Chain A
Amino acid sequence: MTAPLLSLRNLTKSYGPVRANRGISLEVGERSIHAILGENGAGKSTLMKLIYGVETPDEGEMLWKGAPLRLSSPASARKRGIGMVFQHFSLFETLTVIENIALVVPGQRRALLSRIRALGEEFGLEVDPLAHVHALSVGERQRVEIIRCLMTDPKLLILDEPTSVLPPQAVEKLFDTLRRLRDGGVSILFISHKLEEIRAICDRATILRSGEVTGHVDPRDHDAHDLARMMIGRDMPEPLPVTAAPAGEKRLELIGLEDTPDDPFAVALSSVNLTLRAGEILGIAGVSGNGQAELAAFISGESRLPAARREQVQMMGQPVGHLGPAERRRLGFAFVPEDRLGRGAVPELSLTRNSLLTAHPLGLQRHGLIDRARAAAFTADCIRDFDVRTPSAEAEAGALSGGNLQKFIVGREIMLKPKLLFVAQPTWGVDIGAATDIRRKLMALRNEGMAILVISEELEELFDLCDQIQVLRKGTLSAPLNARDTKPEEIGRYMMGAEAAREALSA
């Protein structure tokens, strides 16, 4: 029997008191698509950093084709034949595709050009080598990353959550590429938390929980329930209850919202229309980078319209396009931004102080001074009601895990009793338990008559939560689709645009 391509034996890595990886052992065979399955925070990323030489393990050893492997840097990993496609791409936006590739791959420009085209055809990775990266879609960028890795002839390709940025049809295309690569002799480490995908493409799976291996399985022999149990250590949470409620009055309306930004990298919005009523959850789907950030800023009030066009954004029946965030909040608007650290909360401040950021109108201050007792009481309520796991209300926000901080921020905004709640990426980087808690809360509030707008990249989440879904693509919003009788593939078609979808189907 030959030695496996890569073996890990008892790898351990700690960051200060946090033991991110504990005694991890696994083997990746030749021509295998091997899944690393785990929740956010289970230690997947740390493990990949060890294998790609970004970090060195505290203990344990790695073997490459049976021989000890010591990596001091990503460059040394690449030299051995280990390539990695990052979740947040490591491309240079102001350079062209071929320049990005030339940074990693030696060779004449003309030779590179023809190799890029040849690889593109062979593995279904078409991309214009002369385009600037900032002008490419997320899917195209991913193809560039994969091509760049392939041009170094890797034996092992690591893909970190590769499907999280892709519409469903593009996922199929990626899988097709990966199968062709495997048949061509490349092993793949596929990091994901999406069970169905792993069952669809992987022949082995290693499951991580809290930094430890909880199972080595063939994912095709197990159903999603089994895998989930190994991943989160208990049964999957029940699906959320849905009660149909008659929709109430309009709480948010965008009427032909448009804007052309000065910033060349920002997305222009054109004729964006939506209507959100009381007792309704409206989801905005779409691959990020299609105007989500710009649209969110116009709804939150961080970007304002000139007074002449203030009618384009209406809240509680009033034109608010020209108003700032504080004025909109006074009308009963609350907002959970997508980045927790820096916009949703101040990492260096205690939870109590973070409460004050948006909850100060609830009598947490008197004569312009902080009312400590009330602020502490508010924070304690939030921590209790929303099950925020924290040593105390005085803990720094930045010290909480992603899930707990998100619960705190969502809780803080909900306690303002808004009429209109806007949540961007409600469960991004949040563990499944906390994600379920947050979604349940949102559903309950909807049933009580709150109007909720959600922007999310996770289609499953939108289908769980929303009554209506609209798709944002290239700064334009689709017509609303009823979430109960629309298929994910249909949403996917809108995400890609009709033309691209036809191409993907025929490919």
Chain B
Amino acid sequence: MNAIEFILAGMLAAATPFLLAALGELVAERAGVLNLGVEGLMALGAALAFIVVYHGGGHLLAFVVGGLGAALLALIFAFVTLGLQANQVAAGLAIGIFGQGLSALFGKTYESLTVKGLPKLALPGLADLPVVGGLFVQDIVVWLSLLATLLIWAGFAFSKAGLVLRAVGENPKAAHSIGYPVMLIRLAAVLFGGVMAGFAGAYASTVYTPLWADGMIAGRGWIAIALVVFGTWLTGRIFLGACLFGAVSLAGLAAQAGGVELPSQLLASLPYLVTILVLGIISSNRRLLKLNGVASLGEPYKP
């Protein structure tokens, strides 16, 4: 297997934790709520899911528990920011740190233990293609994440629900005045973001690298938030950003295996650097930002 095949085969799986979390954050931000606690939500989801799989509960239950646990934490965030109109930045940071703390607490006795991941499913025919064949051999969660990406893209592009969400994010006052329940919509969006962050964490700890180590989310929640912003709140760009990140991290590994003499810390930081640079350049288009940006993002609203 050469480096390109290696990268293509692993890229989607590496991208999935970012993708899931970023899609959730996208929905929350489109409704006007900035949740900076994604890192903590992912960590909590990861710890809970790992515990479930370790005790033989299976992956389905693990994802449900991880998603619900993170959603519960997101509910606290929603209570503080939507119910009490607290500052979203401060509340998000606090919830994030709280989530990381909780994950460390729950995971204390599971440190360095491993579980079994999920089998890969190959798309018949496509998987046998030369070079790109690896792209079509993925576990079920990757396939479902791709489906979710497609659904969310279509939801924003074509559905009434997507339209309402954008309206609430752009001008909550106007949305209220034409009769939409702004608070409920924002609450739903935040909870959706929580569930998706929980899934992202669960994927990271039980499928992608099926082991538990404290701090294993390692900033992926923050990258997910950056993907949303630099992807100018467009589903397609967020997907591409996540793939780019996955590809560059695998390229680093491939380079190391190929004997390139670079400090491993530098290689490990490479994907972060490349992703931020590329997306930063793409998103420097102010017109795009203004048209797709969320005007009321982070502003508390009381009807």
**Residues of chain A whose beta carbon lies under 8 Å from any beta carbon of chain B:** 54, 73-75, 78, 84, 86, 89-95, 99, 102-104, 262-265
Taking CB atoms, residues of chain A closer than 8 Å to B292 are: 94
Cβ of B295: which chain A residues have Cβ within 8 Å of it? 93-94
Other A-B pairs, 16, CB within 8 Å; known A74-B176, A90-B173, A264-B286: A74-B177, A74-B178, A74-B179, A78-B178, A84-B177, A86-B177, A89-B174, A93-B170, A94-B290, A95-B163, A102-B160, A103-B164, A103-B167, A264-B287, A264-B290, A264-B291
Contact A90 B177 (CB under 8 A): yes
Q: State in angstroms the CA–CA spacing of A104 and B171 once bound together.
A: 14
A94 close to B179 (CB less than 8 A): no
Tell me if B186 counts as interface (CB < 8 A to partner A). Answer: no
Task: State A49–B178 Cα separation when bound (angstroms).
Answer: 13
Whether B220 is near chain A, meaning CB under 8 Å from some CB there, is no
Whether A94 contacts B166 by the Cβ 8 Å rule is yes
Residues of A near B167 (CB, < 8 A) are 92, 95, 103
Pick from A104, A262, A263, A265: contact of B178, CB below 8 A.
Answer: A104
Decide: B170 and A92 in contact? CB cutoff 8 A: yes
Residues of B contacting A92 in the complex (Cβ-Cβ under 8 angstroms): 166-167, 170-171, 174-175
B171 to chain A, nearest CB (A): 6
- Annotate B151-188 by CB proximity to A: 1 below 8 A, 0 otherwise: 00000000010011011001101111111100000000
Bound complex: CA A324 to CA B295 (Å): 29
Determine the chain B residues whose CB is within 8 A of the CB of A91 once the complex forms. 174
Of all chain A residues, which has the CB nearest B158?
Answer: A109
The one of A94, A103, A104 in contact with B291, judged by C-beta atoms closer than 8 angstroms, is: A94
Q: Identify the interface centre among A74, A90, A92: most chain B CB within 10 Å of its CB.
A: A92
Q: State the Cβ distance, A33 to closest chain B Cβ, in Å.
A: 23
Residues in B whose Cβ lies below 8 Å from that of A93: 170-171, 295
B236 to chain A minimum Cβ distance, whole angstroms, is 17
Give the one of B164, B173, B291 with max A CB within 10 A.
Answer: B291
A75 / chain B contacts, CB cutoff of 8 Å: 178-179
Bound Cα distance from A54 to B178, whole angstroms: 10
Inter-chain CA distance A103–B180, complex, in Å, is: 9
| Number of inter-chain CB pairs below 8 Å | 57
Residues of A within 8 A of B177 (CB): 54, 74, 84, 86, 90
Are A94 and B170 also in contact (CB < 8 A) when A54-B177, A74-B178, A78-B179 are? yes
Assuming the contacts A103-B163, A264-B290, asked whether A90 and B171 have C-beta atoms less than 8 A apart, the reply is yes
B96-128, CB < 8 A from A: none
Chain A interface secondary structure, helix, strand, loop or mixed? Answer: loop
Residue of B nearest to A261 (CB): B286
Cα(A92)–Cα(B170), bound, Å: 7
User: Are A103 and B178 in touch, CB under 8 angstroms?
Assistant: yes
State the Cβ distance, B165 to closest chain A Cβ, in Å: 11
In the bound complex, CA of A75 to CA of B179 (Å):
4
Give CA–CA (A86, B180) in the complex, Å.
Answer: 17
Residues of A within 8 A of B166 (CB): 92, 94-95
B176 surroundings in chain A (CB, below 8 A): 74
The residue in chain A whose Cβ has the minimal distance to the Cβ of B289 is A264
Q: For residue B287, which residues in chain A have a CB less than 8 angstroms away from its CB?
A: 264
A74–B182 alpha-carbon span in the complex (Å): 13
Whether B179 pairs with A73 at a CB distance below 8 angstroms is yes
Q: Which of chain A's residues have a CB closer than 8 A to the CB of B164? A: 103
Closest CB in chain B relative to A410 CB, distance in Å: 30
B163 touches A263 (CB 8 A): no
Cα-based distance from A263 to B288 in the complex (angstroms): 10
Nearest 7 CB-CB pairings of A with B: A75-B179, A90-B174, A264-B287, A90-B177, A262-B286, A92-B170, A92-B167
A-B contact pairs, 18 of them (CB 8 A): A73-B179, A74-B176, A74-B179, A75-B178, A75-B179, A90-B173, A91-B174, A92-B171, A93-B295, A95-B163, A95-B166, A95-B167, A102-B163, A103-B178, A263-B286, A264-B286, A264-B290, A264-B291
Complex CA–CA separation, A465 to B290 (angstroms): 38
State the CA gap A86–B171 with chains docked (Å).
14
Cα separation A377 to B124 with both chains bound (whole Å): 87
Complex Cα spacing A268 to B90, Å? 38
Q: What is the bound-complex CA distance between A75 and B173, given in angstroms?
A: 13
Residues of B within 8 A of A99 (CB): 163
Q: How far is the CB of A496 from chain B (nearest CB, A)?
A: 27
Q: How far is the CA of A95 from the CA of B291 in the complex (A)?
A: 9
Chain A residue numbers with a CB within 8 Å of B174 are: 89-92
Q: Which residues of B contact A74 (CB under 8 A)?
A: 176-179
Residue in A closest to B292 when the chains form the complex, CB atoms: A94
A84 CB, nearest partner CB in chain B, Å: 8
Closest residue on chain B to residue A53 by CB atoms: B179
Cα distance, A74 to B178, chains bound together (Å): 6
**Complex Cα spacing A102 to B286, Å:** 28
Q: A90-B173, A95-B163 are in contact. Are A265 and B290 (CB under 8 A)?
A: yes
**Nearest CB in chain B: distance from A96 CB, A:** 10
Minimal beta-carbon separation of B177 from chain A (angstroms): 5
Q: For A103, list chain B residues within 8 Å (CB).
A: 163-164, 167, 175, 178, 180
Least Cβ–Cβ distance between A191 and chain B, in angstroms = 16
- Could you tell me the distance in whole angstroms from the C-beta of B252 to the nearest C-beta in chain A? 36
Once the chains are docked, how many angstroms separate the CA of A187 from the CA of B160?
Answer: 31
Residues of chain A within 8 A (CB-CB) of B170 are 92-95
**Chain A residue at minimal CB-CB distance from B291:** A94
- Against A, the Cβ 8 Å flags (1 = close, 0 = not) of B273-303 are 0000000000000110011100100000000
